Amino acid sequence: MLDLLAQNQLLLLFVVIGLGYLVGNINLFGFKLGVAAVLFVGIALGAIDSRLALPEYIYVMGLVLFVYAIGLQSGPSFFASFQKRGIRFSLIAAGVLVMGAVIAVILKSILGVQAPTIAGLFCGAVTNTPALAATVETAKNMSVNLPAEVRDFYATSPVVTFGLAYPFGVFGVILWLFLFNKVFKTAPVEVASDLAEPGVEPIHSRTYRISNPAVIGKPVAEVLRMIGEAGFVLSRIQKGTVTDVVLPETILGDGDLVVAVGDSKGMERAQLLFGEQMTDHIPEGSDGISYRRIFVSNKELVGKTIRELKLQTKMHATITRLRRGDVDFVPTADTMLELGDRIRVVTPRANMERVTKYFGDSVRAISETDYLSLSLGIVLGVFLGMIPIPLTHGMTFKLGFAGGPLIAGLILGRLERTGPIIWEIPYNANLVLRQVGLVFFLAAIGTKAGGGLLDTFHAGGWGLIAAGAVITTAVTVAVIMIGTRYLRLPMAAVMGMMAGIQTQPAVLAYANQQADNDLPNIWYATVYPAAMVSKIILVQVIVSAIMMM
């Protein structure tokens, strides 16, 4: 069997991926390795027989697809996280990770290991495979003029140390969260209003009777301009016995009933603005007003804001909710539509078919990938990674196949569209592309690193495992203390923040098991983009800065 695998690299690739998924689905005390098991299976097979090493082009191809897809998906939320209060939490996440990186550099001096080795250990301690990819790529770029055996060591040692630190990077975080809850018996704390809800909240739909003299007799557009960011969308209005969609020119009359859709803060603003909240809701379907979830598959609308569509004027319809990926939120006039968004549209029943055709509502269309924009984006990312950045002592640094496509993906994902070119990929297609790229990268880099597993372990494996545990512990305890003592967050929010900083779904799953609310998911999404990019940048700094000395 080993001879067969050694002679057939395609067979070897999919055996590693298949066995990895099989091992990753093994449930051990409620924890699964998931896709990371592909890396461990690759390391194991590479350690058994040195011939079982996949070619480098598979690793490069997987790496480029993976980081570019991540960049596209994370671009909008990454740049949005630097606006308003989100920047505070992004800076906290980045600051904690910088502390972890500093500890890693100190441990490097104590253990006497190379920069790529300690960078890989840092990646495992904070459980981040994109950062591992960046480490390997940077190490290869920085060692291009060194002997072949040294280059191979620099490329494989981070993968081995990543594997050594990864288990505690998952179990250790869960252990510290469990112990903190048990020892300190944290009780729910009252959270400051500006900290409680940094992300997406549950959406409410409530009916209000117009009784505020300041808005009676005025059109809706003028009333909403008075409060700036409303936090809600007006769905429909009932004047006497007649119900209709709310339009910008709709005049608010005394006693009219209006339905607002938004988060809890938006509902508070709506009540202050309009008046009494009613217990009886205007029923759906009254006077032929209907609603439907519609897929945005019309590429002509992608990248346009809801304001640009002028939907209320042109189509006599209103968008009250938007589902992107697994998250529902109330869109604003400045929300850009993306391919694959599911919007909830309110309009007269007779008009629904016209609105549906306008947005497309084709599942097949959103599952098709525009390979021209995908190829062009990756080409731009590869070219960006090839640009030499001058350093001291005549040395240069390149972003490489990890940094270039990632930065290109982040920028293009934020732009979403340039003229006729739609950069974004439908959510489902992005997930598939990302997973395929990731397993190709993990399988190839794992088999290549397997040969050095025993040598690395004999050279100080237990010390490296302990060093990884120190980094994980320092980051986890810092987040717990900052979250509970400085930000005064409930433990559910702190656990979600920790899961986001670790970019670790297993920790998020544990947090959701312990919480009776959606706070872990909200805080996970809040810090995840900044944490992901910070790790990728930090490991490149560790490798390039130390190797230049």
Alpha helix positions (H), 208-300: 220-225, 264-274
Highest-scoring range by mean pLDDT, 117-131, 176-190, 293-307, 472-486: 472-486
Instruction: Give the span between the Cα atoms of 470 and 108, in whole angstroms.
Output: 12
* Higher per-residue pLDDT: 285 or 115: 115
pLDDT-wise least confident of 89-93, 256-260, 262-266 = 262-266
Confidence of residue 286 (pLDDT cuts 50, 70, 90): low
Instruction: Give the span between the Cα atoms of 491 and 412, in whole angstroms.
Output: 36
Instruction: Give the span between the Cα atoms of 539 and 131, in whole angstroms.
Output: 7
pLDDT at 16 over 90: yes
Q: List strands edge to edge, sheet with 242-245.
A: 242-245, 232-239, 257-262, 204-210, 275-278
| Threshold 0.85, pTM exceeds | no
* Higher per-residue pLDDT: 457 or 63: 63
Confidence of residue 98 (pLDDT cuts 50, 70, 90): very high
Would you give the distance in Å from CA 451 to the centre of its chain? 33
pLDDT at 192: 40
Confidence of residue 77 (pLDDT cuts 50, 70, 90): low
Answer yes or no: are the C-beta atoms of 159 and 446 closer than 8 Å.
Answer: yes
pLDDT at 195 over 60: no
Instruction: Give the span between the Cα atoms of 522 and 2, in whole angstroms.
Output: 47
pLDDT at 191: 41
* Higher per-residue pLDDT: 381 or 82: 381
pLDDT at 470: 95
**Phi, psi (degrees; rounded to nearest 5) at 319:** -95, 120
The Cα-based distances of 150 to 73, 164, 393, 397 in angstroms read 36, 21, 21, 18
- The string of pLDDT tens digits covering residues 329-338 is 888 888 888 8
- Strands annotated E in 316-362: 318-324, 327-329, 342-348
Pairing type for strands 342-348 and 389-390 reads unpaired
Highest-scoring range by mean pLDDT, 60-64, 192-196, 373-377, 492-496: 373-377
3-state SS class at 354:
helix
Provide mean pLDDT across the span 84-106: 87
Highest-scoring range by mean pLDDT, 4-13, 198-207, 416-425, 444-453: 4-13
- The string of pLDDT tens digits covering residues 102-129 is 999 999 989 888 889 999 999 999 988 7
**Phi, psi (degrees; rounded to nearest 5) at 261:** -120, 125
Confidence of residue 375 (pLDDT cuts 50, 70, 90): very high
Question: Structural domain boundaries of the chain?
Answer: 198-365
Q: Which residue has the tokens 């130390």?
A: 546
pLDDT at 71: 81
pLDDT at 12: 93
* Higher per-residue pLDDT: 177 or 188: 177
A 10 A CB-CB count for 327 gives: 12
pLDDT at 511: 78
When the pLDDT of each residue in the chain is averaged and rounded to a whole number, the result is: 82
SS3 content of the chain, % helix, strand, coil (to 5): 60, 15, 25
State what percent of residues in the chain have pLDDT above 90.
Answer: 18
Structure tokens at 111: 């253990």
Provide mean pLDDT across the span 89-113: 92
Provide mean pLDDT across the span 69-95: 76
CATH architecture of the domain formed by 198-365 = 2-Layer Sandwich (3.30)
- The string of pLDDT tens digits covering residues 144-166 is 778 877 788 888 888 888 888 88
Provide mean pLDDT across the span 374-382: 93
Residues 282-288: contacts with CB within 8 Å, 24+ apart? 282/207, 282/236, 282/238, 282/243, 282/257, 285/349, 286/238, 286/243, 287/242, 287/243, 287/244, 288/348, 288/349, 288/350
